[in-house]
Every structure is written in structure tokens, then in C-alpha cells.
Homo-oligomer: A and B are copies of this chain.
Amino acid sequence: MKLNQNGRIQADQATQLNELTAVGFTPDLDQSLSDAANAAFRKLFPEAFSETAKQQALASVAVNGEQDLNQFLASQPTQISRTDFYAVALQLLGFEPKTDYQLADSLKFMAETKLPVVNADIATTADFWSAMYLLLCTRTKHLVTLLDALAARGFYRDFQAGKKTPEYLFFNGKAQNVFDARKIHREVVWIESDMDTDHDGKRDMLETTIFRPQETDAGVKMPVLFTANPYFHGTNDVDWITHKPDPKLAVKTHSYTKDEVTYTPTTPAELPHQPVTGESRTAEVYSDQGGSYMFNDYMLGRGFVTVYSGGVGTRGSDGVRSTGGTSETDSAVAVIEWLTGKRRAFTNRTDGIEIKAWWCNGKVAMTGKSYLGTLSIAAATSGVAGLKTVISESAISSWYDYYRENGLVVAPGGFQGEDADVLAVDTFSRQKQAGDMLKIQAEWDKTLAAITKDQDREFGDYTKWWDERNYRNNLKNIKADVIIEHGLNDWNVKPANAIRYWNGIQDLPINKKLFLHQGQHTYLDNIRSLDFVDQLNLWLSYELLGVQNGAPAALPNVTVQDNVEPETWHTYDEFGTADAKHTDKPYNLQNDMASKRAGFPDNATAIFKEDKEDSDGFEAEIIKPHSKYDGARLWLDLPAETKDVTLEGIPHLKLRLWIDQPTAILSARLVDVGEAKRFAPVAGVVDAGGWNLGYDYKTVSIQEFKPAKETASKLVSFGHVNVQNQKNAYENAPVTPGKPFTVDFDLQPTHLHLPAGRHLALIIHGADMAQTQRTETVVNFHIDLAQSTLTLRYRK
């Protein structure tokens, strides 16, 4: 087990002593070491209310083979050896002697587990408090630090007692769990937007749910973690609208210019405001559902109000969905404007009783995964004031990169046949209120028909409609600091969404951090081997509560999980940049790779249908060294590596080819080849319910990415291109059967540790049963290998 930690900051002795005092210790350097230790260790058992109960607890901990901690402390020690201190420390951190480690070998286990230790035996009271400070900041077996685990056991139970206004508490730069997550106001309000997306002549009201610690009633102002969550009130059945992969690929006849595909925002007509008839400090409607995101829930007790809003077309709100259109961006921005006092909200839809976010300190962060994270990127590109940081996880930065690729319809991994209209239906949760639907059905039918038409599944081109949904057009507007988290194996929202966003903000004068893990479309919060949540706490304490903890400098710019060594995370200053730390290698397909032939007929659909295979089956089969799709692909081996190398960045493929048809789907896959135990695609539970989100509050299971059974190969990166889109995703380059042409496109970004003895292979094939249309015309591909190149970037 490795408990990596990047969110712990250095503190000088004076700071350490001040912080220890603030959390309730009494570090007096004039006291004897024995007295200091006796007092300090007793405080580490917050469940024990009496001296006897504390001694009983101390007696449960072994110091060595002879003494328990109660006996040891009673012996008034004048020094504590490092071995003894960490033998005890490990038990406090949740490890068990014999099972996990040997008492006499505590230091060895600390080192193996990547836990920090002091440099010398503890000889003075000052030494002791220094070691205790470090120990409180050390990660336990259960995800969080010791002090945080103590908080979940009641360490701060009495912290607010006797204070007129509840106070924040910080330790090692991070907000502590001193508010009561169980005592929450669950309020619903309606925010008045500037839009009328359902064309009823009235401003769309946006239902917003607030989870607000009751301590705000006593005057403490809190910042907000806002999650724009279209799924908050549930989703609808989409079976009926999910598309069947098309057996034909249309030959493109139209070509767009850059201007034709550039979206220009329109200014909405000014609409009458709801007249204000009164004001209330409390809501009229209590939320019928709880918080939906573990990280938000975790931060509640640390003094962060959490807010959810589904946006236009979701249950309780007006309007219609647009699948990432400006109306959804504006929905999220409206919430931030209300939170920061620049927009009105009401206690219900009709009475005109205004309600202000009087408890808000004016600072907002956005959080969320997938669509939720997507809307945080969207909101950030508005430049709205008060939005201090956006933490987007597995998020889309351009919807074209989600549903299309290089002039092709491409499905998100796992969801063949999904498209913008499908997602619109999915999230139009107004539908769940049948009474509301009586009024909106006709308008919604019209809106949905327009989305289906505009998304254009026939030609797959980048159009004005998609340009509206490309948030990267507006990156220059971003004022918020940025955290990006993404899975390197996320074939649903593909890594290009994260890396193109990351690359696009490099020159902006904002702080930015990137986290890449080995999972698919998933959270990083509860992965044991990294202190992600603690790093976010450091970040948010800095961003939203003004704590001068140096978070921007303290946290690594780039954190990437290794794909070979379990529980190993690399930190870098940059990712995949063309700089002195990287080198580009062009591989000529003729000279640098081994292939049995240079052409293939794409009859994959016939094989697929014959075997009644599903998308998962295809994805597993197409990357096997020996596959039933052998005839329908080129397999090109790169040389085996003689030492470990690290591939990083965006692989680029240039192919010179001809085909015997006027159009075709071309797919390319980069695979890691060689029998090896690679990580399972999904992190497994290592500690069920092991993460306590607060004191006597919710629990979440802790997970880890673990090696699974041996496989012969694994997908590293891939890409798809319509051969008519040789220049870009909107211009049409007609293909003449038999006449050579060049396609030139990026594959998905990657970070791959390729161990010595393994090698890469490039697979070139036609239709991708899991993601593209399933074309039935057999296209014969002929690649001019000598004029084709794969370019890879390596970290030196």
C-alpha cells in the first residue's frame, strides 16, 4: 500500500505550535517530554470522555513486544525512539501489528507506505511536538489524514461551543471539519434568468437547491461549491430515441467555410422582470433530495455551502434543454450571479418574494464530473465574476469532441447510438412532472426536432451548431483558476477534451492544475493512493476562504498515475509540451514498423453481425494480436523497447492512401503489446464505507486501481477520420476511387509507461463497431506505408 501525499505543506515551528494550539493541544516547550506525550496521546482518543477511558484506549496500543502505550507513558519516558513512535503511530493510522507490519520494523513500513517520518529519535519536547504535528498531517489507512479521521470521530465536537459567531479552523492550510454536516438547511429557490427558451413570453425561472450549514444562521458567511447538475432530479428513458448505427456513410457534397461554421452569439430580447412584492431570508420549499456528490458532502462540515441546479428544462425549472448550448451556460452563470448578489431569486415561481444569498461570502467554486464538469468549463468561459475556480472531472470541453470526430458521427464509448438529442431527452426532467408537461409538450417536441436536425447525423460535419457548443472558443475569457481531472482510459468523454482545454489555457494568467488517472469515466476523490481530496481542500481554502497556504505553488502542476506500478503517481511541471524534457519520434510505417501487408478490405461489419457481437466484444477483439478481424485491419508493430520509456502527449498520424470507394471511415488504434497484468478497467473497492465524510455522517467506499489478470494487449489511444475530411472537420475534400490522398489527424492524448520488452503496435482499420456508424459497403484500403508516419512524443 502506498499513501502518496502532495497536499501537505511545510510549516515552521511557530506555525506548527500555533496550529496545534488552535486545534486544542497545549504545546508548551517548557513542559517535560513525558508530560507533553501523556497529554497529547490522550487527546488522540476523542471517544474516551474520562481519564480511565483514555487509559483504557492507550492500553489498547502496543509500543513494542513488552509495553502498551499506557504503560509506556506511565513510565515517564525521557525520550521516544523513532521505531517506538512509529510503531504507535501506525496503529493510530489504522494499521495492525502482525497483520500489516512488525512493531520493531515500523520505520520500514512507514517508508514502504510512503508515509513521512521525522529524522531522529524524539529527545526533547520540541522534537515531540514536531513529530506530533507531522503525524496529525499524515494519511491514515482510510484515505484522510489522522487529524481528519479524528474529526470524524468527534475531535472537534465542542469547537464551536461558547463562540458567538461560529468560526472556521485551518490546520496545515486546510479547512477543518468544525461545522455540523448533519444540520443543514435544504432550501429550494427560483432564480430569474434573462432567457425564454420555452417561448412563453416569460423569463425562465431556474430551480436551485441549497445545502446550507445551520451555522450560517449565526452570522458566518460561507463560500459555495456549486454543481450545475442536469441529472440532479433524475433522467428519462431514452431507448426510443437512441439511434441505430447507420449501415451507410453518406458521400459529402457540401463543403463549409470557416465563417459558415462560426457561431455568433445573439443578444436575447429584453423581457419583463417578475415584480418584487417582498423579501424573505428563508425558503418556502425544502429539497426532497439530498446532496448528490461525495466531495461536496465532505466539504459541508468544513464550511462550504453546496448548491445544485439542473438548468433550463430540468424538473422544477422553466425552459428546454439544449445539450450544452448557450442556454445551459447561461443557466449556470445565472446561479453564480445570484450567489454573488447580481441577480434575483424568488421563494416560489409566482409571488414575487425575493430571497438573497445573504449567507454567501461572494466566492464560488464549481465542481462535478462529466456533464456536470462540462457546465463548469462552460461557465468559466463566461468570465463571470465571483467564480474563483472550476474543478472539472471527466468533462467535455467541446461537444463536437464528444459526439463527432473529424467529420464522422462517433459515439461516446459504451453508448453507441447516443447523440445530442438523446441526451436532451435524458435530461429533460421537466417531463417527470406530468402536470407541467401538459403545458410544455408541444414546445418541447419542436425543440427536440430542431436538435435532431441540427446535430446532423448524416454528414457529421463541424457546423455553427457545434461551434456554439465548443467552449474552447472562449478560453481567453476564463478568470477562474482551473483544476482538470481526467481518466487516461476514459473512452466516454475522451482525454482530448481535457488536454485540448489544458493546452488552450497555458498562456492565461491563471493558476492551473492537471490530474490524470488510469481509470475510465470516474471520480478520483476516493482513490486511496492519492490525497486528491486533501489537495482540493488546500486549493479551496486558498481560493474561497483566502487562506494564505501557498496552494498554487504547493500543488504539482501535473499529477499522472503510472499505468504499470500500482499506487504510483508522477508529478511534472507540464504535460506533453514541445520542450527540452520531451522528444518527438516520427515512425515511418514502411521503415520503422513491421507489417505483413499494406492494404485490407473493411468487412468488419459483416464479421460483427455474423457473430452477433456487441460493442464491448468488438473493442476487446480488434486489439488482440490474433483476432477474427485480422483480415479487416493492418497490424503494424513498432520495435520492442529495450528499456522503460514514457510516451506522453498527442500521437499524430499522417497516412497516404487510396481506396476503391468515394468515402470511408478510417480508424487507428495504438496498442500496448505484451503479456502483462495490467490494471483492471475499473478501480476496485479496498475499504467498504471506509471514508467518513463527517462526524457521525455519510460514509463512502475507498477504491484503488489494481492489476488484474494477464492480457496480451491494451488500447492506449485511438482516432477516427472521415476520409473526406482531409483538412478539417468542415471542409469537404472529395475522394476519387483509386486516387491517393493524405489524411492527417491526432489520436487521443496519452501518458504511457511502456516497460522494457513490451512494444507498441498501430492498428489501422475501417468502421469501429463500438463508436462509428457500422457501414456495410466493403471498402478496400491501400496504404502507402513509405509515405505514412506516426509521430509520438516521449518524456526524456
Q: Which of chain B's residues have a CB closer than 8 A to the CB of A99?
A: 236-237, 431
Q: Per a CB cutoff under 8 Å, which of B350, B432, B696, B698 touches A184? A: B696
Whether the Cβ atoms of A48 and B434 lie closer than 8 Å is no
Tell which of A57-65, A328-336, A465-473, A604-612 binds the partner. Answer: A57-65
Whether the Cβ atoms of B62 and A437 lie closer than 8 Å is yes
Whether the Cβ atoms of A435 and B69 lie closer than 8 Å is yes
Complex-state Cα separation, A347 to B52, whole angstroms: 9
Which chain B residue shows the least CB distance to A59? Answer: B435
Complex-state Cα separation, A607 to B61, whole angstroms: 50
Chain B min CB distance to A603 (Å): 29
Whether the Cβ atoms of B438 and A284 lie closer than 8 Å is no
Q: Per a CB cutoff under 8 Å, which of B61, B65, B348 touches A53? A: B348
Chain B min CB distance to A394 (Å): 19
Whether A779 sits at the interface, judged by CB under 8 Å, is no
Complex-state Cα separation, A562 to B699, whole angstroms: 35
A284-B49, A347-B50, A351-B52 known; A438+B153 contact, CB < 8 A: no
Whether the Cβ atoms of B284 and A349 lie closer than 8 Å is no
Q: Which residue of A48, A184, A699 has the most chain B CB atoms within 10 A of its CB atom?
A: A48
Whether the Cβ atoms of A696 and B186 lie closer than 8 Å is yes
Q: Which residue of A67, A154, A188, A348 has the most chain B CB atoms within 10 A of its CB atom?
A: A348
Q: Per a CB cutoff under 8 Å, which of B68, B288, B350 touches A47? A: B288
Whether the Cβ atoms of A434 and B184 lie closer than 8 Å is no
Whether A66 sits at the interface, judged by CB under 8 Å, is yes
Whether the Cβ atoms of B50 and A438 lie closer than 8 Å is no
Q: Per a CB cutoff under 8 Å, which of B283, B287, B349, B434 touches A103? A: B434
Q: Which of chain B's residues have a CB closer than 8 A to the CB of A184?
A: 696
Whether A617 sits at the interface, judged by CB under 8 Å, is no
A47-B287, A286-B49 known; A91+B434 contact, CB < 8 A: yes
Q: Which of chain B's residues have a CB closer than 8 A to the CB of A67?
A: 438
Whether A108 sits at the interface, judged by CB under 8 Å, is no
Whether A568 sits at the interface, judged by CB under 8 Å, is no
Complex-state Cα separation, A284 to B68, whole angstroms: 21
Q: Per a CB cutoff under 8 Å, which of B63, B153, B290, B696 touches A696? A: B290
Interface of A is mostly: loop
Whether A127 sits at the interface, judged by CB under 8 Å, is no
Complex-state Cα separation, A437 to B59, whole angstroms: 10
The number of times this chain is found in the oligomer is 2
Q: Per a CB cutoff under 8 Å, which of B48, B68, B347, B351 touches A285? A: B48
Which chain B residue shows the least CB distance to A46? Answer: B286
Q: Which of chain B's residues have a CB closer than 8 A to the CB of A349?
A: 52, 56
Complex-state Cα separation, A70 to B58, whole angstroms: 63
Complex-state Cα separation, A417 to B103, whole angstroms: 30
Complex-state Cα separation, A63 to B435, whole angstroms: 8
Which chain B residue shows the least CB distance to A183? Answer: B182
Q: Which of chain B's residues have a CB closer than 8 A to the CB of A50?
A: 284, 347-348, 351
Chain A stretch 61-83: residues in CB contact (< 8 A) with chain B:
61-63, 65-70
Complex-state Cα separation, A69 to B58, whole angstroms: 63
Whether A613 sits at the interface, judged by CB under 8 Å, is no
Whether A433 sits at the interface, judged by CB under 8 Å, is yes
Interface string of A93-127 (1 = CB under 8 A from B): 00011110001000000000000000000000000
Whether the Cβ atoms of A433 and B47 lie closer than 8 Å is no
Complex-state Cα separation, A182 to B180, whole angstroms: 11
A62-B437, A436-B59, A438-B62 known; A285+B69 contact, CB < 8 A: no
A186-B696, A348-B56, A435-B70 known; A285+B62 contact, CB < 8 A: no
Complex-state Cα separation, A138 to B11, whole angstroms: 60
Complex-state Cα separation, A98 to B437, whole angstroms: 11
Interface string of A149-184 (1 = CB under 8 A from B): 000011000000000000000000000000000101
Q: Per a CB cutoff under 8 Å, which of B48, B284, B287 touches A52? A: B284
Which chain B residue shows the least CB distance to A97? Answer: B434
Q: Which of chain B's residues have a CB closer than 8 A to the CB of A287?
A: 47
Which chain B residue shows the least CB distance to A348? Answer: B52
6 contacts between A and B (CB under 8 A): A52-B349, A52-B350, A53-B348, A58-B435, A96-B431, A98-B431
Q: Beyond A50-B348, A68-B436: 19 further Cβ-contacts under 8 Å?
A: A47-B188, A47-B287, A48-B284, A49-B283, A49-B284, A50-B351, A52-B348, A52-B350, A53-B348, A56-B348, A61-B433, A61-B434, A61-B435, A69-B435, A97-B434, A99-B236, A182-B182, A186-B696, A290-B699
* 8 smallest beta-carbon distances between A and B, as pairs: A68-B435, A62-B434, A60-B433, A50-B284, A97-B434, A47-B286, A53-B284, A52-B348
